[in-house]
Amino acid sequence: MKAIGIDQAFISKLVETFYGRVLQHPELGPVFDARLSGRWPEHMEKMKSFWSSVAFRSGAYGGKPVQAHLGVANMVPELFPKWLALFSETLDDVAPTQEAKDWFMATAERIAKSLTLSLFYNPALDDPAKKPD
Ligand code: HEM
């Protein structure tokens, strides 16, 4: 991780920059702020320990991401591509190396897919090719 420029200082900068932009985003901003109003500092600390745990396998984060998203009002699957696009733009501006960007994007895409399945999976909308007639 160090070799590709990912350290604690970079994670802090990424989290601060990304959630600053989330708040400015016309669709993501209101969804986050409705839930986190008055609790933003705690959310930022949680997200820093979350990314540290994933990057350094440090065990700093002990939360439950699926449960945390369950009661978020106005959460719709279409928000995930927007979240990922904003994360990608942020990394273009702040990532120290292309490898660092690639690592964060691959990880975020995997988690976004897994959260989308946990929150919204509906057999009726699954691949029609797999359905019996
Ligand atoms: C449209 C996409 C997303 C929305 C609207 C969203 C919204 C939120 C909100 C409102 C919270 C605060 C919950 C609370 O404390 O009450 C939260 C927490 C969190 N989110 Fe997301 N999120 C999204 C995508 C993601 C993705 C892609 C990741 C991972 C890469 C992620 C990781 C987390 C984590 C780790 C927490 C902290 C959970 C805890 O409380 O332990 N989220 N999210």
- Predicted confidence band of residue 133 (pLDDT cuts 50, 70, 90): low
Expressed in angstroms and rounded, the spacing between residue 65 Cα and the centre of ligand 1 is 7
pLDDT digits (tens, 9 = 90+) for 97-125: 999 999 999 999 999 999 999 999 988 77
The answer to whether the CB of 14 is under 6 A from ligand 1 is no
Residue given tokens 């975020």 in the structure block: 108
In the chain, domain spans? 2-120
Residue 131, pLDDT > 70, answer no
CA 71 to ligand 1: nearest atom: 16
pLDDT digits (tens, 9 = 90+) for 26-76: 999 999 999 999 999 999 999 999 999 999 999 889 999 999 999 999 999
The answer to whether the CB of 119 is under 6 A from ligand 1 is no
DSSP type of residue 29 = H
Ligand 1, atom 7, lies closest to the CA of: 32
In CATH terms, the fold of domain 2-120 is Globin-like (1.10.490)
Residue 45's pLDDT is 98
The answer to whether the CB of 50 is under 6 A from ligand 1 is yes
The answer to whether the CB of 75 is under 6 A from ligand 1 is yes
CA 84 to ligand 1: nearest atom: 27
Tell how many helices (H) and how many strands (E) occur in the chain.
6, 0
Question: What is the DSSP track for 101-119?
Answer: HHHHHHHHHHHHHHHHHHH
CA 80 to ligand 1: nearest atom: 1
